[in-house]
Structure 1
Amino acid sequence: MKVKFLKSSFASFFLLSAVISANPAVAQTDSSGVVGDTFGDSNELRQKLMIDPILVPSEPPAAAPGSSAGTPSAYGASAGQAYVGGGGFIPLDDGYVDGSLSVGAGFGDPVKSVGVEVGVNLTSIGGQNFDLGDSGTVGVKVHKYLKDGTAVALGWSNPVKWGDAKGAKETFYGVATKSFDLKPNDSKNKMPLTVSVGLGTGSFRSKGAIQDNENSVNLFGSAGLRVTPEAAIVTSWTGNSLNFGGSFAPFKKSPVVINAVVTDITNNLGNGSGLSISGGYSFKF
């Protein structure tokens, strides 16, 4: 028995948290992965500058590669930060090419209080249909950056949905993210390993819960290893499928992040694997 989903919005998983955040065949969208860990990285930089002011500050890169491959992290946009992104889903077996667009903005301060990220995802913009704006969802994430460098967040995806996306399940989730430097004494690349673990409903349900049409809570997680300052290996367990790929921030002075991820590599859902390619751009206003 194959489990059917709205493939059109899968690319949005990688547009954000960012991101970022972004199940391939599930029409769940999340902005947590849009620009990788750009926003989380800036908060971490602020903490480091406050804790250790003896260090000579250098110009940080405009963006950092992401740490997830289709699940949200606890990093998010804060006041004055926004993003735009776009992506496409290419089935490696049966199916059709499709795409989505995401835009979002942040409010509040996750270091001093809490940050709030609001994202809008426009789905079904490629493949069989090209109806820009006719289908989409809205999501919100409340996130907090703690003193020890851990980030935590609560999210609500699809409280508002229209068009072909009306069939998407509402998703509630909680997630914690922590980064560990594997080479703390390396001045060029500390090789941070960023791990996220969360619980959620909706798109994070198990295969059995999806088949039984139950919206139960399930475990999801991700890991991203930044092998160079510009590139990271990323993987995620969405609760029902395993994704693996890479995230890249190729331009030091331009806040652009590009992701290439193979979805459901074990074909757990029975729909076949796919390739999701996306890119995001962050800016301040």
Structure 2
Amino acid sequence: MTAGDARGPIYRDTRDLTPFGNARMQTPVRELAGSVGGLIHGVLGGRDAALIAVDGEVPRLKRMPGKAAKAVHDAIFAGKEPERLIALGRAYPGWAGLCSVMAGLLAYQHGGYLRASELLQRGLSIRNEDDANQYAATYLTRVVTRVEVAERIEVPVLFSQESVFLALSHSLRETGQLEAALQTVAGLPPSLPSALARCALAFALGRDKEVVIWTERLLNSDDLSAALLLLRGRALRRLGAHAQAHDALKEVLRRRKTDVVLRNDALTDRALLVLDNGRKSLNPRDWLRGRPAELETFEVIRKDVDERRLWEQEWENLDGK
């Protein structure tokens, strides 16, 4: 089945446990806070940011591990560069696939997307021996990769098929290979993160009908679903279905705890819808008289601007103390 063949929603995850953590919206302020927090954490004895990320403590090897397992374990959890893992893959061919995948995840964590895409693809193409697979199942389950599933939206993912393929898809997206990026995530199990990655890529490729089909009957239950609804609204707008686009954006704004970045995007998109509708009429009085929903949108935007001004004033007052 190709990336565009799905015949219905792709976001419904029926699993009891998933490898995904809570999504985080990236903004310049939050990125700066995260960098400062990471620096402080490192100074106070936390895990070095150059090392592969782990949820909790680094797992300890059991007694009498094999030579390959011991070397690979140390390279994964104590190494800061992919080269060490690449060299071990050459020294132990039965572990080459796993070593390339972990080297790719480390390169991805460091922001080296081209190299990450090459290493991850190489690792996925190599068959591991049983010892390497057993090691991965035992010791790598707490490895965490923060994946950008769509622009400005990161999701922490425990080591799994999804962490590897989502990281590869993002790496391909960063290197301009959108079609390959979409194909990479096409076979993943249904989930909100993978659905967002697929819909963002499909939208970038102009496949608006697929985005609409994949997000049917979606409700705003968290920020990932809100981001999906934004894409749905934009796809519907490009298709000319303005009423349905308005409904999707209204659902984004319905949940009060929706991230302010997503809410602002939804308000902007609603304003664009109003402008689109306004171009259909040459008589401003008729346009205003016939569109109470659009007037309501202007009122929502006005209130949002007022609230933001108050928030900025309070922030300036706090900053001045």
Q: What TM-score results when the alignment is normalised by the length of structure 2?
A: 0.20
Structure with greater helix percent: 2
Q: What TM-score results when the alignment is normalised by the length of structure 1?
A: 0.22
Which has the larger Rg?
Answer: 2
Relative contact order, higher structure (CA 8 A, sep 6+):
1
